[in-house]
Every structure is written in structure tokens, then in C-alpha cells.
């Protein structure tokens, strides 16, 4: 029997071997999970309006086929830090593109004045807004999509919310890089390495906590008179993920209920807190919230902004005291946790914050930049980074008087490593440059300055509604051009993955090309 050059018999069949690629395998698993949500949505659609059932099934087959092939056809290869960033970053891009398929096939944007290019752009925008938990919408007519597709829209935010928490609390500390060093600097809060010795167990515990919170919100909302079980699930998916999508064009304003708003405010505050704190509290490690400096600062920011905004609305916007407190508290918490829900019943109503006085709008813009806690489903800069940067600024002033003094920056009882402080400073610089570049791009594409600033800050912070013509009662199709919406969709993904992981995701393919 003859042998070939590699020593194998020429008659011996070539055995197929899976490709060793960690990014492709992770991508395949993620796409398969998204396909499962499309399949579930088709069942919901079949049991309700039954308009988009077929196209949801087709979407599930397409995305599931691609995801299953990648999952089965690959295996985990040698994993280095750059490979992990590539796996996370490119998976998010693939999920965003795949998530647009149902919107496109189901005709969600089949309305007068929208051509095929607009439908594609809007589908990608809606998908990016969903998986990044931003909450901005390009939907013009909420009656066009069926109930199954609208529930799929809600589920995209639920998947996106915990995906980022697992990245932040499980993946980055395993690599020894990124924002989790900030949690390690906090004591006696959760350590920044992991919750359990095994990263997979950490992810499971976080998912359990996340699912438990979601079901708790469902139960509480379902008890409230006037809230259907469909809406209870839909809002629970986006409240726990601090996403902000609603199946109604009026968002939470459709209920016009202080009780619904109160339940969602509590849910948003919990979703904006560190999920590691939640898990450890469930394991009877009581008192962590009180001792965690980031959580205390987080609550203090929301409380103080609510008080100031309520007073300003009462004194200057013509609202009575009760209305001022209700509107200020809901919108402060909604934007302060990067949720983006709105409680405006109609354009120009009390909850429409684009009609509020500029001083209150500036408070909301500040909250859009800061966001909530590290290790939460929230986006934006995060409270810990603001704490460290503030302490670093104070230290710089003190060093002008005592140049040789050793002044550590502390959060809680532990000093923050100087390497973390340097990365925080770099983060803010990159963040500022992205905001400036984004505003220049959006204004160059035809939008006003106020709308551009609000949309760019909101997209990077995954907030949802912006200012001006892109407020809580508007949609981004009317407010921004097609190229501008694509830029904003990119900023959503960048903001959701944090800046440095998104930039480092290009390291693996570039290194691969250089190694050829």
C-alpha cells in the first residue's frame, strides 16, 4: 500500500477535524442561543397575532444553521488574552448582525418613506440597540411588528445584559486586565478575581441571580391591576437588564401608573448595582451593600439628583410638588441606571424631559455619562471610575503643595493600585475623544448639536432616549439620517463592550496576519 508525503496511505480516507478557533466557537454558541430566542418568539407569535410566525422560524433556521455549524465545526484552541477579546468582540458584532434578520424578514420597517437601505439600517440599529441594552429605537409604527417579534426585541436586551456582566466579572479578571481591578480595589466588597474557583461556576451563579431577579419582577408586575402577563414578562426582561425597551410606543407612560413606575424604579436600581453583591448577599454575606463604597456613592448620586431635579421642576417648570417628585425620580433613575424607560404619556406631557428647563436636562446629561455600578447590567462610565478620577484630581491638587508626599487613593479600606488609576485616566481620555469624534460625525451628517451630543453620549452610555428631537417620545429614524444611525449603532456596541476590549478585539486578527 503506497504512502503519501505525510506518511498516510493514499487509500486511507481523510478524517475531518474541527478547526481550533476559540472566537469562532464562542460565536457559534452565542448565535445558537439567539436562534433559540427566535424560535421561542415564533411560538409566542403563533399563539397570538400569527403574522410573523413563518419569518421568525426562517430567521431561527438561518441563524441557528450558521451558529450550529460554527459550534460543531470548531473547538477551543490555545487561548491568549488577545484571543479572548477577539472572541467577545467579534461575537458581539456577529450577534448584532444576526439579530437584525428577524426585523428585516418580518417587515418591521415596511412603512411609507423607508426604502430597502433604510430597512437594513434600521434593522441593524434596532438589533444593536437591543443587544447593547441601549433602548433607542428606530421603530416608527409599533403596530407593524407582531407580539412574538416584539417579545424577541425584549429578549435581545435580556441576553445582552447578562452577557456583559459575565464579561466584566468572569472573563476580564481571569485575564488579569480591564475594569475588574476596580472591584479588587474595593473592600470589603467582592474580590475582583472571581466569585468561585471556576469561571464557569461564576457565570452560572450570575445567570441564576439574574434570572431570579427577572422572575421576581414578573411576579410583582403581574400583581398590579392593569398589567397583562405579556407586558409583565416584556418589561421584566428589560428592567433587569437596564435596557429600556417596551412593547409600547409610549414606553411606561402607557400605564400612567405611579405603582408601575415605582416597581420598575426598584428593579432598575437593583439591575444597576453590582451583581456580585447580589449573589454574595443571597449567600448570606449580609451588610455588603452598606460597606461597599461604590454602591453608597451610586445611591447618593441618584438620591441627590432626584432631590435637586424635583426642586427645580417644582419651582421653574410649573409642576405641582407630587408631579415634580414623580417625574424627576423616575427619569433620574431611568437614565442614572442607563435604562432609558420613559413615562411621558404624550409629547409635551409632564414626563417628556425635552420640555424641562435646561438645568434639569444637564443633570440628566450628567447621569447619562456616569451610569451605575461596575459589574452591573448598566452601561456608561460607571460610578467607581468617577470616584477614582475625582480622588485622583484631589490628590493632584494636594501634591502641588506637597510634591514629595505619598498620597494613596483609597476606596473603602484598600488602596487603589497606581496602574488602575492610570488606566482610568486613559479610559476617560479615550471616552472624551470618542464623544468629540461622534458629535462631529453626527453633526456633519445633518443633525443638530443638541441632538448629536445627547445621542452620542446616550449611545456610548447605552442610555436610550437623547435630547432635543430624539427625546423619550421620538424615534431615531425621524431624528437622524441613515449614516448617522449606523454611527450610533457602532457607538452602542463600543460602549457596551467597554472601550479597551472593543479596541483590543482587533489585536488577534492583526497578529494572525503578521504571523503568516
Crossing angle of the two packed helices 81-99 and 482-496, in degrees rounded to 10: 140
DSSP state string for 70-82: HHHTEE-----HH
**Mean pLDDT, the chain, as a whole number?**
82
Nearest CA to 103 out of 50, 144, 161, 44 is that of: 144
Mean pLDDT of 23-47: 88
Residue 222 has pLDDT above 90, yes or no: yes
Q: What average pLDDT score do residues 277-287 get?
A: 84
The answer to whether residue 235 scores a pLDDT higher than 70 is yes
Cα distance between residue 12 and residue 400, in whole Å: 77
Neighbouring CB atoms inside 10 A of 224's CB total 15
Cα–Cα distance, 87 to 202 (Å, whole number): 19
pLDDT over 80 at 293, yes or no:
yes
The single residue listed with the C-alpha cell 496511505 is 9
Structure confidence at residue 398 (pLDDT): 82
More confident residue, 282 or 229: 229
Rounded Cα distance between 292 and 194, Å, is 17
Q: Is the pLDDT of residue 217 over 70?
A: yes
Is residue 337's pLDDT more than 80? Answer: yes
More confident: 402 or 304: 304
User: pLDDT tier at 442 (50, 70, 90 boundaries)?
Assistant: very high
More confident residue, 288 or 181: 288
Residue 81 has pLDDT above 70, yes or no: no
Residue (of 283, 271, 156) closest to 214 by Cα position: 271
* Tens of pLDDT, residues 302-336: 999 999 999 999 998 888 999 999 999 999 999 99
State the pLDDT at residue 111.
81
Q: What percent of the chain has pLDDT over 70?
A: 82
CA 289/CA 286 separation, integer angstroms: 8
- Min mean pLDDT across 143-147, 158-162, 242-246, 363-367 is at 158-162
pLDDT (0 to 100) of residue 506: 64
- Which of 189-198, 268-277, 323-332 has the lowest average pLDDT? 189-198
Q: What's the pLDDT tens digit per position in 89-109?
A: 788 889 999 999 999 999 888
Amino acid 364: pLDDT: 92
54 close to 48: Cβ distance less than 8 angstroms: no
Rounded to whole angstroms, the Cα distance separating 496 from 161 reads 9
The Cα–Cα gap between 164 and 157 comes to 11
Residue 58: predicted pLDDT: 95
Q: What is the pLDDT of residue 267?
A: 94
pLDDT score at 409: 81
Q: Which three cell numbers stand for residue 118?
A: 433604510
Could you read off the pLDDT of 377-393 as tens digits, one per residue? Answer: 888 888 888 888 888 88
* Distance between CA atoms of residues 405 and 411, nearest Å: 19
The set of residues, in sequence order, having a beta carbon less than 8 Å from that of 198 and lying 6+ positions away, is: none
Burial of 265 (0-12, 13-18, 19+ CB in 10 A): buried
In angstroms, the CA 483 to CA 478 distance is 13
Looking only at Cα atoms, what is the longest distance across the chain?
95
As given in the structure block, the three cell numbers for residue 485 are 444611525
Q: Which residues pair with 20 in a beta bridge?
A: 75
Please give the share of the chain, as a percent, with pLDDT higher than 90.
37
Q: Are 340 and 467 in contact (CB under 8 A)?
A: no
The mean per-residue pLDDT over the stretch 461-481 comes to 86
Identify the band that residue 198 occupies on the pLDDT scale cut at 50, 70 and 90. low
SS3 189: coil
Give the CA distances from residue 169 to residues 18, 182, 243, 385, in Å, rounded to whole numbers and listed in that order.
30, 11, 19, 16
Per residue in 136-192, pLDDT tens? 999 888 888 889 999 999 999 998 887 754 644 444 444 333 333 323 322 223 334
pLDDT of residue 219: 96
Q: Which residue has the higher pLDDT, 502 or 61?
A: 61
Amino acid at each position: 500500500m503506497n504512502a503519501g508525503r505525510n506518511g498516510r496511505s493514499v487509500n486511507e480516507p481523510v478524517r475531518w477535524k474541527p478547526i481550533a478557533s476559540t472566537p469562532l466557537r464562542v460565536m457559534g454558541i452565542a448565535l445558537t442561543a439567539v436562534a433559540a430566542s427566535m424560535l421561542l418568539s415564533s411560538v409566542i407569535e403563533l399563539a397570538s397575532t400569527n403574522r410573523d410566525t413563518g419569518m421568525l422560524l426562517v430567521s431561527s433556521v438561518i441563524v441557528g444553521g450558521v451558529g450550529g455549524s460554527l459550534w460543531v465545526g470548531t473547538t477551543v484552541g490555545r487561548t491568549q488574552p488577545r484571543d479572548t477579546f477577539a472572541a467577545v468582540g467579534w461575537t458581539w458584532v456577529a450577534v448584532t448582525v444576526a439579530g437584525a434578520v428577524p426585523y428585516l424578514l418580518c417587515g418591521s420597517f415596511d412603512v411609507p418613506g423607508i426604502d430597502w437601505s433604510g430597512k437594513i439600517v434600521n434593522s441593524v440599529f434596532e438589533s444593536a440597540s437591543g443587544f447593547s441594552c441601549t433602548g433607542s429605537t428606530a421603530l416608527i409604527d409599533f403596530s407593524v411588528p407582531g407580539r412574538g417579534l416584539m417579545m424577541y426585541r425584549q429578549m435581545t436586551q435580556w441576553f445582552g445584559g447578562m452577557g456583559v456582566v459575565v464579561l466584566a466579572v468572569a472573563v476580564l479578571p481571569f485575564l488579569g486586565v480591564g475594569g475588574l481591578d476596580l472591584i479588587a480595589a474595593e473592600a470589603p466588597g467582592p474580590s475582583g478575581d472571581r466569585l468561585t474557583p471556576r469561571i464557569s461556576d461564576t457565570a452560572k451563579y450570575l445567570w441564576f441571580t439574574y434570572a431570579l431577579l427577572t422572575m421576581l419582577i414578573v411576579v410583582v408586575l403581574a400583581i398590579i391591576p392593569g398589567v397583562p402577563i405579556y407586558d409583565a414578562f416584556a418589561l421584566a426582561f428589560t428592567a433587569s437588564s437596564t435596557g429600556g425597551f417596551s412593547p409600547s410606543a409610549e414606553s411606561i407612560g402607557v400605564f400612567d401608573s405611579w405603582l408601575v413606575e415605582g416597581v420598575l424604579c426598584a428593579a432598575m436600581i437593583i439591575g444597576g448595582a453590582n451583581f456580585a453583591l447580589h449573589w454574595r448577599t443571597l449567600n448570606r454575606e449580609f451588610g455588603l451593600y452598606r460597606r461597599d463604597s461604590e454602591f453608597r456613592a451610586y445611591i447618593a448620586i441618584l438620591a441627590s439628583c432626584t432631590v435637586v431635579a424635583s426642586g427645580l421642576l417644582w419651582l421653574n417648570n410649573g409642576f405641582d410638588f407630587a408631579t415634580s417628585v414623580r417625574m424627576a425620580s423616575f427619569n433620574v433613575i431611568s437614565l442614572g441606571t442607563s435604562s432609558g424607560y420613559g413615562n411621558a404619556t404624550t409629547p409635551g406631557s409632564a414626563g417628556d424631559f425635552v420640555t424641562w428647563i435646561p438645568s434639569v436636562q444637564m443633570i440628566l446629561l450628567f447621569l447619562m455619562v456616569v451610569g451605575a455600578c461596575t459589574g452591573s447590567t448598566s452601561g456608561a462610565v460607571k460610578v467607581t471610575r468617577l470616584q477614582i478620577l475625582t480622588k485622583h484630581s484631589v490628590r493632584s491638587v494636594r501634591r502641588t503643595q506637597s510634591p514629595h508626599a505619598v498620597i494613596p487613593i483609597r476606596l473603602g479600606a484598600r488602596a487603589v493600585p497606581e496602574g488602575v488609576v492610570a488606566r482610568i485616566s486613559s479610559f476617560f481620555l479615550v471616552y472624551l475623544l470618542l464623544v468629540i469624534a461622534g458629535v462631529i460625525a453626527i453633526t456633519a451628517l445633518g443633525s443638530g448639536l443638541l441632538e448629536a451630543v445627547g445621542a452620542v453620549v446616550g449611545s456610548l452610555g447605552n442610555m436610550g432616549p437623547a435630547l432635543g428631537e430624539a427625546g423619550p417620545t421620538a424615534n431615531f429614524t425621524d431624528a437622524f439620517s441613515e449614516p448617522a444611525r449606523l454611527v450610533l449603532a457602532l457607538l452602542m456596541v463600543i460602549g457596551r463592550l467597554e472601550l479597551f476590549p472593543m479596541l483590543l478585539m482587533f489585536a488577534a486578527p492583526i497578529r494572525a496576519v503578521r504571523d503568516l
